[in-house]
Amino acid sequence: MVSVADGLKLLLLIVTACALGAPGAALPACPALLDHRFNSLQGKSVDLCEYANRPILAVNTASKCGYTPQFEKLEALYKRYKSRGLVVIGFPSNDFNQELASNQEIASFCRLTYFVEFPMIEKSAVTGAAANPFFRQLRAATGKAPQWNFHKYLIAPDGKTVYSFPAQAEPDSAEILGRLAPMLK
């Protein structure tokens, strides 16, 4: 029979092992690709690790681009497959000189014009040396950097496999849906 004191000591050891990351005792680590934190357009913290084990469609966006109507299809895709694990994340960028000046203006535009509910990250660079670290890793993983607004990266639930799609690929295209479908729950 184990005494209460011995039981408490054992429980304390288990909790300590979990907190210190003992093998087999901790939750799975966040994939390196997703180990990034950003602020949303509204200033709330967004930890990409929270989306681990789910398919993620990361898109560099702009409010004044010929491809801006893709927001409608991105939102429809998000609503349709959110319950099956899909996360769509928008990364507004002015790399191609077609984005509004402030995060507040971008948030209002997306919400009022396209009723966007998927996560939108604060404006940042997505190309070149100034690209945010996440987009640098996406470029390294695929060998393809955004050539224009609405370039899309589909990240598999393993957090390692990444597919790249140019701006011209519509969010609901057979090309994207064909890669996405096997990833959904």
Query: Would you name the residues annotated as active-site residues?
Result: 65
Alpha helices by DSSP H, listed for the chain, are 4-20, 70-81, 103-114, 133-142, 174-180
- Pull the structure tokens for residue 158: 């393993």
Closest CA to 155 of 93, 88, 90, 95: 88
Number of H helices, E strands in the chain: 5, 6
| The pairing of beta strand 37-39 with beta strand 45-47 | antiparallel
- Cα 37 vs. chain centroid, distance in angstroms? 10
- Pull the structure tokens for residue 174: 């057979």
- Pull the structure tokens for residue 91: 């990364």
Contact predicate 131/153, CB 8 Å: no
- Give the C-alpha separation, 165 to 150, whole Å: 9
